[in-house]
Amino acid sequence: MVCMVAMPVAAHAAAQIKRFSIDAQPAETAIGLFGHQADVQIIAARRLTQSVRTNGVRGDFTVGDALNRLFAGTGLIARQTGPRTYAVVPRPTPDRLVPAAGTKLAVAAAGGGTQAQSPTPASPQSAAVAPQVAGAEEPEIVVTGLRASLDTSRGIKREASGIVDAISTKDIGKLPDANLAESLQRITGVSIDRSGGEGAFITVRGFGPEFNTVLVNGRQVATPTDPSQASGRAFAFDTLASELVSGVEVYKSSTARYQSGGVGSTVNIKTARPFDYKGLKFGATIDANYDENAKKSAPDASFLFADTFADGTLGVLVSGSYQHRFTRLKQAATDGWLVNPAIPAAQVNGGKGAVGSGNPQGNIFIPQNFDTRVTREDRERIGGTLVLQYRPSDAVTVTADGLYTKFTNTTDARSYGHWFTASNLTNVKTDANGTAIDLTQATGIATDFHDKKFDKRTNTRAVGLNVEWQVSPTITASLDGTYSLAKEDPNGGKEAYLALLGYLTGSSRYQSDGSRLPWQTETLPAFANPTNRCGSAVTDSGRPGSSTVVGDGQPMCQHVMLLRGYGIRDEVKQGRADFTYKGDGLEGLVKASSGFYWSEDKKDTSLYSNDGGTGCTTCGYNVPVPPGVAISVFNAGSNFLSGVSGANRLPTQWQTFDGPALFNAITAQQGPGFTFAPPLVNDTIVKERVIGGYLETEWHGAIAGRPISIVAGVRFEDTSTNVNGLATAYTALVKLANDQTQYGSTSSGTTRTIGTTHYTDILPNIALKWQVSNAFTVRFAASQTITRPTLEQLSPVTTLVTLRPGNFAASRGNADLKPFKASNLDVSFEYYYGRSSYVSLGGYLKNVNNFIVLNQTTGPVAGVSGALLDPATGLPAQFTITAPVNGQDATVTGLEAAWQHAFGDTGFGFQLNGTLVGSNRHLDPQDLRNKFALTGLSNSANAVAFYDAHGIEARVAFNWRDHFLQYLAPPPLNGAGQAVTQVRAYSQVDASLTYHITPQVAVFAEGANLTKSVAFKYAYYANQFLNAEDTGRRFKLGARITF
């Protein structure tokens, strides 16, 4: 077999002095690195290189001298077969010759295509001594396209000192993935949380988004994540387009070189540099994507331009990306479950209560509501990078870079449903777990029609300056500084709005059986005042509601009008200095690194809301819809949630209206000076300063005659945190006119609360790699890592979450929280049995101390003049208060397996990987006062089949994630009640096909979620339905050009 590494052509390569930085390693990977650094094409027979280990080459040499050093003592040499190509061969023997003129060789071409070429004729001198590198007895293979990217990822994994997985540039750019999260889920142990069918956040080895440190070019980048989406430390991958990225590395075992924060992993995203290319490089992609549910298409485009000037001393790179997508999400939803609310005891199981063998505590779980909903989204990403590089001498490289990304998601959700009040429920029946499976409300119940928004407007920008200085042949210094700023626009509080019209109805009955979806039925009202039905008292007529259009013939009356939104400003400043010593020897101390680090992260999280204020000006269904606001019928479609059991019982048509028009009409109706504009009710500023340093050494030696390397290091970090929280100064809870479903609140303004904390951590790490044979590698790693508390958990502010009769809930933070601290052990066995093939099996153990748990207590909440009183009783309102505390420890164990195989030179291959993970801490639905379980913990698996030959690249990918706990408490603005959120097992199939018309031009087609998988969420038990979401299939058709 013959393997080839294609690199850009450079004239007079043999005579030019090149800088090389290649460690001793297997010949198969060393040849690829050498070809890239020397800017030449190298041809080698795999049968010659598969068991050979080459020498390290460092310094400035001609290509010929460097090749001699690379292969010294290996029994191989490199012969120049043309001005731009070299052949790796055994030392000359008389019976070996170079290929005859006219022999065709398959050569990998830029852009992933292949072309048949005649080798450049060798000079007479080289022809006399150069051996033959290809013979008729061996078929040819070409490493290109998908295979090339998989080989690169495999090479990074094999040569890493610790447990590392990677995705190469082509692997990202050619997957059917809208963003990086969807690409990363192909890596063993990486799972994702989805938003609107797209990957948004990652979980690694069972640890959720806040437990993974995400860096861009080794730097922390500000993130606009708000509490309604995930932890403020979580990196939102849906804000970054994959086209801006040149590679991603996932460090599952710790290294002292990178900053702390990742108990789960450290993810380093790389963007391209102009000196990565030799001379001019240009690539562009344009495509159209189509969303099957929305039945709309939109354009995408991206480009990269790079060039070097002044004899390669100056470089510039510009890249840009534009993505636009329409979605239509078909949903059924319960906003949350009430835990042990004040239901009249006589109404629970006929007065028998809920105590049983499966529910010894007698817990009762009630759905807060049940809605049928369709959400339309308009997603737009705009991003770009600009990089300037200057090399004033061979020893110094200066890099200035900038990154900008803007993500806008404009939404419109139309829904209808019923909102339950626990104290008004009758005929409540529960199952053995205490979950309500049948209930009725005939007092204070309304049928509501909503126009909602859950918009997201973010932008992130980052600039950095780096100086690399080769102080001497063995010492390198690096100075790096960066500044990044991320913002989320609250849009004047209109980021998340709720406009509601409805009518008091006769009754509503909720039922749940063995089907996936529950259902509701209503009986219509009898109005005491038929002429003025809005504001009229009602009784139950017993007549069933419309079976075709919900609300047909009923009045549309004004109720809640909420404007809410988070504003985020995250500002990160960092500086670091790194120093590296690389020895000339092959044994003993071969490398030592040390450095210093300073970081300041200032994040301002503000919440604007008119909930409890002007948002309830028209509460109570007392006033008809303003004249001029059109009422129409919304049609969810006959195939709404088709294939989901119970969907046939859901009405698919209901009354609807335009939310902004209703806001404007009511504002005008209320008169001059009135506004729904929300005030600032909460504002938390967290300023975190970290000062640290590290030392890491690398040692090489041998055990039983086989190479072994040990990397040992330690990192020191000193953390100081200052928290400044603004909170509402509540004075009272008040009844709302003619609204029995909720209470309002009054306040005297706002107050500020300040908290500080300080701690120091010393974090050691060690990683051992032993090459038992040329193909078999054993790894072991041990380390300590930390993850700091989320910014929301540090906020010392008390927030009133729920104000409903018999259901009061509040939450508060804790500025004194200490970080999670994990002791980690890893072991891995890897067998590399071919250039593109390997098998790996690994295990890990993480013992996490200082685990932060959500502790629930029941008691009063202090107002300005004492405890807030329950308007119904006049006694202090008893709130369920949720607050984080440092508490127990947790142990996580896992097994990871991966198998990548290429079927010779056929172009066919596959990837299989899976992760089994477990913990000694599990969610206990019977212990509701101390919530302690690991969010994100789940098994996962991937299967990929690919073909890459004859200018065709094809790939089919299957991804599966088992059920997992997503939230321990409902996310703000997007939830209600006190229950957890769990996600059912989910699988998805994606595919892509690329055809290279020429080496420079390709066309492609991609498809995502081809099996039309539906995502489901539930609370404590599987029949506590929370959400069903059908995102539909997505398709893409486009073209790429590169040169």
Q: What is the helix (H) or strand (E) element at residue 67, kind and residue range?
A: helix 63-71
pLDDT at residue number 231:
63
- Establish if 661 belongs to a structural domain: yes
The predicted model gives 775-783 an average pLDDT of 94
Handedness of CA 238, 240, 244, 250 (dihedral sign): negative
Domain boundary among 143, 170, 188: 143
- Residue 841: pLDDT over 90: yes
User: Where does the pLDDT of residue 972 fall: very low under 50, low under 70, confident under 90, or very high at 90 and above?
Assistant: low
CA distance 310 to 901: 44
- Residue 121: pLDDT over 80: no
Residue 714 vs residue 491, higher pLDDT: 714
Residue 526 CB-density burial (10 A; 0-12 exposed, 13-18 middle, 19+ buried):
middle
pLDDT at residue number 145:
58
- Establish if 118 belongs to a structural domain: yes
- Residue 233: pLDDT over 90: no
Query: Can you name the residues that pair with 140 across neighbouring β-strands?
Result: 2
- Residue 117: pLDDT over 70: no
> Any idea which of 20-24, 436-440, 475-479, 928-932 has the lowest mean pLDDT?
928-932
pLDDT at residue number 298:
96
- Residue 156: pLDDT over 70: yes
Residues 126, 201 within the same domain: no
Nearest Cα neighbor of 540 from 424, 366, 370 is 424
Residue 622's alpha-carbon distances to 117, 555, 677, in angstroms, are 82, 11, 22
Q: What is the pLDDT of residues 341-357, one digit of tens each?
A: 889 999 999 999 999 88
CA distance 200 to 1041: 29
Q: What percent of the chain has pLDDT over 70?
A: 89
Nearest Cα neighbor of 897 from 953, 843, 939, 861 is 843
- Residue 515: pLDDT over 90: yes
Q: Which domain holds residue 216?
A: 162-273
Q: What is the pLDDT of residues 628-643, one digit of tens each?
A: 999 999 999 989 999 9
pLDDT at residue number 665:
96
- Establish if 987 belongs to a structural domain: yes
Mean pLDDT of the chain: 85
Q: What is the pLDDT of residues 656-669, one digit of tens each?
A: 999 999 999 999 99
- Residue 71: pLDDT over 80: yes
Residues 139, 167 within the same domain: no
Residues 194, 132 within the same domain: no
User: Where does the pLDDT of residue 739 fall: very low under 50, low under 70, confident under 90, or very high at 90 and above?
Assistant: low
- Residue 31: pLDDT over 70: yes
CA distance 595 to 214: 20
User: Where does the pLDDT of residue 434 fall: very low under 50, low under 70, confident under 90, or very high at 90 and above?
Assistant: very high
pLDDT at residue number 98:
37
CA distance 873 to 133: 92
CA distance 769 to 204: 22
Q: What is the helix (H) or strand (E) element at residue 727, kind and residue range?
A: strand 706-736
Residue 432 vs residue 232, higher pLDDT: 432
Q: What is the pLDDT of residues 566-577, one digit of tens each?
A: 889 999 999 999
Residues 319, 253 within the same domain: no
Q: What percent of the chain has pLDDT over 90?
A: 51
Residues 111, 221 within the same domain: no
Going through 348-434 in order, the beta strands assigned E by DSSP cover: 365-367, 369-393, 396-419, 425-430
Residues 413, 486 within the same domain: yes
Residues 723, 764 within the same domain: yes
pLDDT at residue number 232:
63
- Residue 111: pLDDT over 60: no
CATH number of the domain residue 219 falls in = 2.170.130.10
Task: Provide φ and ψ at 865, rounded to 5°.
Answer: -115, 30
Residue 4 vs residue 724, higher pLDDT: 724
Residues 437, 401 within the same domain: yes
Q: Residue 748: count other Cβ atoms within 10 Å of its Cβ.
A: 13
pLDDT at residue number 50:
66
pLDDT at residue number 163:
87
> Any idea which of 55-69, 451-465, 476-490, 955-969 has the lowest mean pLDDT?
55-69
Nearest Cα neighbor of 851 from 969, 927, 932, 935 is 932
pLDDT at residue number 66:
85
Residues 222, 334 within the same domain: no
- Residue 184: pLDDT over 90: no
- Residue 202: pLDDT over 90: no
User: Where does the pLDDT of residue 788 fall: very low under 50, low under 70, confident under 90, or very high at 90 and above?
Assistant: confident
| CA-based radius of gyration for the chain | 32
The token pair that represents 848 in the structure block: 């996490």
The token pair that represents 178 in the structure block: 């809208």
Q: What is the pLDDT of residues 583-634, one digit of tens each?
A: 887 889 999 999 999 999 999 988 888 887 888 889 889 999 999 999 999 9
pLDDT at residue number 124:
33
- Residue 708: pLDDT over 90: yes
- Establish if 232 belongs to a structural domain: yes
CA distance 741 to 947: 60
pLDDT at residue number 946:
93
- Establish if 148 belongs to a structural domain: no
- Establish if 127 belongs to a structural domain: yes
Residues 526, 623 within the same domain: yes
- Establish if 278 belongs to a structural domain: no
pLDDT at residue number 82:
60
Cβ–Cβ under 8 Å, residues 902 and 837: yes
Based on the structure, what is the number of domains in the chain?
Answer: 3
Residues 433, 367 within the same domain: yes
Domain boundary among 143, 171, 203: 143
- Residue 681: pLDDT over 80: yes
- Residue 64: pLDDT over 70: yes
| pTM beyond 0.75 | yes
Residues 214, 100 within the same domain: no
CATH number of the domain residue 93 falls in = 3.55.50.30
The predicted model gives 185-203 an average pLDDT of 80
pLDDT at residue number 84:
58
User: Where does the pLDDT of residue 123 fall: very low under 50, low under 70, confident under 90, or very high at 90 and above?
Assistant: very low
pLDDT at residue number 30:
83
User: Where does the pLDDT of residue 814 fall: very low under 50, low under 70, confident under 90, or very high at 90 and above?
Assistant: confident
What's the half-sphere exposure (Cβ side, CA atoms, 13 Å) at 124?
0
- Establish if 150 belongs to a structural domain: no
Q: What is the pLDDT of residues 898-914, one digit of tens each?
A: 999 999 889 999 999 99
pLDDT at residue number 97:
37
The predicted model gives 115-124 an average pLDDT of 35
Helix, strand, coil percent values for the chain (each to nearest 5): 10, 55, 35
Residue 596's alpha-carbon distances to 263, 267, 293, in angstroms, are 21, 20, 52
